[in-house]
Amino acid sequence: MRKFVKVWLAGLMVAGGASAASLYAAPGSDTTVAIHWNHVSMISQAVPTLQVVVNPLLRPESPVSHRALLAVRHLGANYVRFVPWLPYPRLAVAELKPPSHGHTYWNFSLIDPMVRAFMRATAGHSVIMNFSTIPEWLFKTPKPVPYPKNPNQVYWKYEQGTQLRGHSLKPLADYYARLVSWYTRGGFRDQLGHWHHSGYHYHFAWWEVLNEVNFEHHMNVQEYTRWYDAITAAIHKVSPKTRFVGLALAEGENPANIGWFKYFLNPRHHAPGTPLNMISYHFYAGIGGHNPALWAKQAFSKANGFINVSARVVALRNKLSPKTMIDTDEIGTFMGGKLPHLYWNLSGAMYAYVFAHLAAQGVNVVGESQLIGYPTQFPDVSMVNWHTGVPNARFRVLELLVRNCRKGDQFCKTILGGQKQSASDIFARGFITPTGKRKVLLINKADASVEVALPGRPTVVYVVDGKTGSGQPAAIHPKSGLITLQPWAVAVADMPR
């Protein structure tokens, strides 16, 4: 089945801040899209990027790691997030045992090679570091928490305890200060005063304080705020130029999380001088069933819910702490079971759709999750083939956005109207780049092909769809203004002036 939608562009884009539901015409109406190139609704501050989560396939001896990080290097994105995380304690925690009998047990031997490889892949670009897993011996637990000897063995039970030992936050804050000092100041002095030499002098532009704190260790916002204040103060002493990201909330689409933002963004709830540089939150759309049309309906409907909650977060930021940036650093989909070929295109299209809307809200960073996943380790969000390391369509959509959508783009007023149901299958935005080029972002949300008529012939259309597969975005030179978007295609058209 093919659906035909004629989209007449005189200039394109939804006014900044409009809700997702207002983009489309009512069912049964004709379809027209008008772009007013001389009417700039806003200037984008948004940067598309991704997160890199540590797992065994990211270790340097893995050929998957080499190829995947080479793709990251060629991508050249900023704000790439690096997360050593809890399923692999030996790959994520630098001090797995507490000091005892005159010894400390710091060990970076398995962590350093991954950090070095990541920093090489992102050289010249800003990164967000997040060693989110806290040593379990810092918590009150009935008995010491074990961990596998094999660093590649997944272990989901490492994170235990809800209260720190003692009443002081100093041991927690000092752990992170020493960890940062290891990578930025050539080493650190341990709890017994002994110097540990690393030789590293990296610049960490950003440090994110913990991860999904509304889930992990079952924290509340008051407790997390105290921890954030203590950790950032300690890190600032060893890395004064590092800026900080707070919250990293799970379920960013949940309106119940609004209370976290209200509390945390209020400077009066923090110790004097605590920086509120950036906040972050996450969104994953769960989809399922055997009907591709249902997948699309689920994905984009849930995306709209997240977009609307995000608008409330942006409004709170503007009111309480307007200089604080916003990073949605985990965006993805979960499907489960066998993942069909076109799943990667659907997931990539949903990311592009979320990016486009959040950019119109004033969000600063939109991160796709995650570089490498594989069966048992969130295969649904992998951006590369876990057997080869070759990028899939999710990565290629990000590549398309990084190459074409930049901070400083001028979003032009867009009017979309008409009376055809199939109009809702298309998202389109016209924008002018900082260098003066006119472009149109197009997203097909349907599981069927859609024909789009542009006014005049584009000089080139870059597209990611089922035909491009894992290849780079195709460059198409149409003979007319009429183009066909395959199911869940994402395209950028360069338009003549």
> What angle is formed at CA 386 by the lines to CA 461 and CA 468, rounded to 5 degrees?
20
- Give the whole-angstrom CA distance, residue 452 versus residue 377: 38
- Give the pLDDT band (50/70/90) at residue 371: very high
If you average pLDDT over residues 325-343, what whole number do you get?
95
For residues 392 and 445, state if they share a domain.
no
Same domain membership, residue 52 and residue 6: no
Cβ atoms of 95 and 106 within 8 Å: the answer is yes
Q: Identify the CATH number of the domain in which residue 447 sits.
A: 2.60.40.1180
From the number of C-beta atoms within 10 Å of its C-beta (0-12, 13-18, 19+), residue 387 rates as exposed
The average pLDDT across 40-46 equals 97
pLDDT for 144 equals 94
Mark whether 159 and 117 lie in a shared domain: yes
**CA distance between the termini of the chain:** 35
Q: In terms of domains, do 13 and 61 share one?
A: no
Specify whether 390 is located in the same domain as 460: no
Secondary structure string (H, E, C) spanning the chain? CEEECCCCCCCCCCCCCCCHHHHCCCCCCCCEEEEEEEEEEEECCCEEEEEEECCHHHCCCCHHHHHHHHHHHHHCCCCEEEECCCCCHHHHCCECCCCECCECCECCCCCHHHHHHHHHHCCCCCEEECCCCCCHHHECCCCCCCCCCCCCCCCCCCCCCCCECCCCCHHHHHHHHHHHHHHHCCEEECCCCCEEECCCCCCCCEEECCCCCCCHHHCCHHHHHHHHHHHHHHHHHHCCCCEEEEEEECCCCCHHHHHHHHHHCCHHHCCCCCCCCEEEEEEEEECCCCCHHHHHHHHHHHHHHHHHHHHHHHHHHHHHCCCCEEEEEEEEEECCCCCCCCHHHHHHHHHHHHHHHHHHHCCCEEEECCCCCECCECHHHCCECCCCCCECHHHHHHHHHHHHCCCCCEEEEEEEECCCHHHHHEEEEEEECCCCCEEEEEEECCCCEEEEECCCCCCEEEEECCCCCCCCCEEECCCCCEEEECCCCEEEEEECC
CATH number at residue 321: 3.20.20.80
Q: Are the beta carbons of 92 and 86 closer than 8 angstroms? A: yes
Mean pLDDT over 39-60 rounds to: 97
Does the residue 191 lie in any domain? no
Region 451-480 average pLDDT: 90
> Tell me, what amino acid is at 296?
A
User: In terms of domains, do 31 and 51 share one?
Assistant: no
**Within this chain, do residues 375 and 403 fall inside the same structural domain, yes or no?**
yes
pTM, rounded to two decimals: 0.93
- Tell me if 386 is assigned to some domain: yes
Q: Which residues contact 491 (CB under 8 A, 6 or more apart)?
A: 400, 441, 442, 443, 461, 462, 463, 464, 465, 483, 485
- Pair 77, 172 in one domain: yes
170 plus 302 within the same structural domain: yes
Domain boundary among 387, 407, 427: 407
Domain assignment present for 185: no
* pLDDT tens by residue, 247-293: 999 999 999 999 999 999 999 999 999 999 999 999 999 999 888 88
For the chain, percent of residues with pLDDT exceeding 90: 82
- Number of domains making up the chain: 2
Q: Is the pLDDT of residue 484 over 80?
A: yes
Q: How confident is the model at residue 15 (pLDDT cuts 50, 70, 90)?
A: very low
pLDDT surpasses 70 at 389: yes
Residue 448 lies in a domain: yes
Write down the pLDDT at residue 67.
Answer: 97
Q: Measured between alpha carbons, how far is 148 from 159 in angstroms, rounded to an integer?
A: 13
Q: Report how far residue 272's alpha carbon sits from residue 158's, in angstroms, rounded to the nearest whole number.
A: 34
Same domain for 298 and 361, yes or no, is yes
Residue 436 structural domain? 2-43+417-495
Residue 197 lies in a domain: no
| Mean pLDDT value of segment 435-446 | 94
Query: Span 456-470, mean pLDDT?
Result: 92
pLDDT above 80 (res 102): yes
- Give how far Cα 131 sits from Cα of 4, 83, 184, 252, Å: 49, 6, 14, 21
Residues 269 and 170 in one domain: yes
In a domain, 424, yes or no: yes
Query: What is the overall mean pLDDT for the chain?
Result: 91
Residue that terminates a domain, selected from 407, 441, 466: 407
Residues 170 and 245 in one domain: yes
Q: Which of 407, 430, 458 is the last residue of a domain?
A: 407
State the burial class of residue 266 (Cβ atoms within 10 Å of its Cβ: 0-12, 13-18, 19+).
middle
pLDDT tens digits for 210-227?
999 999 988 999 999 999
Q: Report if residue 372 sits inside a domain.
A: yes
Instruction: Please indicate, yes or no, if residue 194 is contained in any of the structural domains.
Output: no
